[in-house]
């Protein structure tokens, strides 16, 4: 799940930088600093996904992207799209981790069950040097 969330944030950082270019062109004031702040926050947060609080901050960042629509209207749509992608990344990332854990547990159980009955003939080439 951590890898999926970090990937979404890195892609969002690119969107934030492009958003900054559009904002700088449309609003010559300092509104492009909002885009820069969002992009930097995305990159920093992508590296901090090992902490449990980072996921809540990620949701707050999604709200920030949607709120950026008040500067450039297209960001309402892009912010909503990335909020959905963020949710999908968390949802399916957690599912993938659960499936991986189940497979590892099944493999370990099978390995433990056959550990007592395993001989060198079952695994040719192992330990024969």
| pLDDT value at residue 73 | 87
pLDDT exceeds 70 at position 121: no
Q: Say if CB 75 and CB 65 are below 8 A apart.
A: yes
| pLDDT value at residue 42 | 95
**pLDDT tens, residue by residue, 49-73:** 999 999 999 999 999 999 999 988 8
pTM of the predicted structure, to 2 decimals: 0.74
Radius of gyration, CA atoms only, the chain: 23
**pLDDT tens, residue by residue, 110-119:** 998 888 665 5
Q: Which of 17-21, 42-46, 112-116, 125-129 has the highest mean pLDDT?
A: 42-46
End-to-end CA distance of the chain: 42
pLDDT class of 129 with cuts at 50, 70, 90: low
- Ordered alpha helix ranges (H), the chain: 2-26, 32-47, 53-67, 74-115
Tell me 129's DSSP state. Answer: -
């Amino acid at each position: 799940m951590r890898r999926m969330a970090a990937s979404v944030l890195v892609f969002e950082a690119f969107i934030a930088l492009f958003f900054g270019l559009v904002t700088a062109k449309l609003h010559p004031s300092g509104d492009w600093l909002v885009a820069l702040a969002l992009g930097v926050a995305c990159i920093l947060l992508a590296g901090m996904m090992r902490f449990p609080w980072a996921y809540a901050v990620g949701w707050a960042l999604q709200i920030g992207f949607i709120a950026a629509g008040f500067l450039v209207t297209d960001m309402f749509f892009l912010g909503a799209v990335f909020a959905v992608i963020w949710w999908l990344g968390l949802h399916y990332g957690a599912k993938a981790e659960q499936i991986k854990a189940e497979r590892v547990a099944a493999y370990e159980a099978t390995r433990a069950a056959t550990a007592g009955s395993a001989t060198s003939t079952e695994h040719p080439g192992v330990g024969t040097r």
